[in-house]
A = this chain, B = another copy of it.
Amino acid sequence: MSGSRAAAKARTHENLLDAAATVFAERGYGAASVEEIARTAGVSVGSVYAHFTSKEKLFVALMERRSAGEFATAQAALADGFEAAVPALNRQLLAEADSAHLAELGAEAWLYGLRSPGFGAELAAHHRRVHDVVVEMVTRERERRGTTLAMTDGEVGTVATALARGLVHYRRMSPETVPDDLFGRTLIALLRGLEAPGPPAAPASPPASGPGDRASDDA
C-alpha cells in the first residue's frame, strides 16, 4: 500500500503543504511556526527543511499549488456556457467562504504579495489569468445575445471578480448577511442594467460616440 520511497517522499511533500495551509491560515504567515507545521504534518522540523529551504519558500510553494487549483476550477466553470458558469462560480465562492482556511489563505497571499515584489508580480499574473477566463465568458455571452454593454468586457470581468472577492470576505465574517445565490443574482441584474442603452423608447441608436465596438479591454 505504501509504494516506493519516492512515493513516500512525495506524500510527505503533500502532507507538508496541507499542514502549511492549515497553520498559515490559522496563525497568519508571521505568527506561524515551522515547528507547528512539522508537528501537524507528523514529521520533524529537519524534514521540513529537507523539502523546503525556508519558511518563505514553503509558503510560496503552497500559494503556487493554490493558484493552480483555483485556475483549473475557473476554467472548468467556464467550459459550459454562461448559464451554467454563473451558478458554478457561485458555488466556488460559497466553498471558499465556508471553508475553514481558503479565504484566510487568499488574504495572506494578497498581503504577502504587497510586501514581496516578486511574489506580488506572480500573484497579479495569476489574477490576470483568472480574469481573462471570466472575460472570455462575458464576451461569449454578449456576442450570443447580440447586444452591446455600457462597459468593456474587461471591466465586467473586474467587477465580477471583485464582487466575488468581497462577498467571500463578508460571508466569512458574517455568514447570515450574504445569501447563497446573491452573487449570481447580482451578476445577472448587472448585465441587465448594462444592456439597454436608454429608456425603452429608442430600440438601437447609441449617441454619436465611437464605432459600435465595446469589447475586450481593461483600462
Binds B, one of A44-52, A69-77, A188-196: A188-196
When A30-B30, A189-B194 are in contact, do A218 and B177 touch as well, CB less than 8 Å?
yes
Q: How far is the CB of A149 from chain B (nearest CB, A)?
A: 9
Q: Is A139 an interface residue (CB 8 A)?
A: no
Tell me how many chains of this kind the complex includes. 2
8 Å CB contact of A190 from B31, B124, B190, B195: B190
Q: A193-219, CB under 8 A of B: which get 1 and which 0?
A: 111100010000000000000000011
Q: How far is the CB of A3 from chain B (nearest CB, A)?
A: 37
Give the interface residue-count category, chain A: 35 or more
Q: Is A96 an interface residue (CB 8 A)?
A: no
Closest to A124 in B: B174
Q: Which residues of B contact A188 (CB under 8 A)?
A: 193
Closest to A28 in B: B30
A165 to B170, CA, bound (A): 9
Q: Is A113 an interface residue (CB 8 A)?
A: yes
Q: Are A170 and B190 interface neighbours, CB within 8 A?
A: no
Q: Are B114 and A172 interface neighbours, CB within 8 A?
A: yes
Q: Is A123 an interface residue (CB 8 A)?
A: yes
Q: How far is the CB of A181 from chain B (nearest CB, A)?
A: 10
Q: Which residues of B contact A30 (CB under 8 A)?
A: 27-32
A150 to B188, CA, bound (A): 11
Additional pairs, 7, CB under 8 Å, beyond known A128-B177, A151-B186, A155-B179: A28-B115, A30-B31, A107-B111, A124-B173, A166-B167, A190-B193, A193-B194
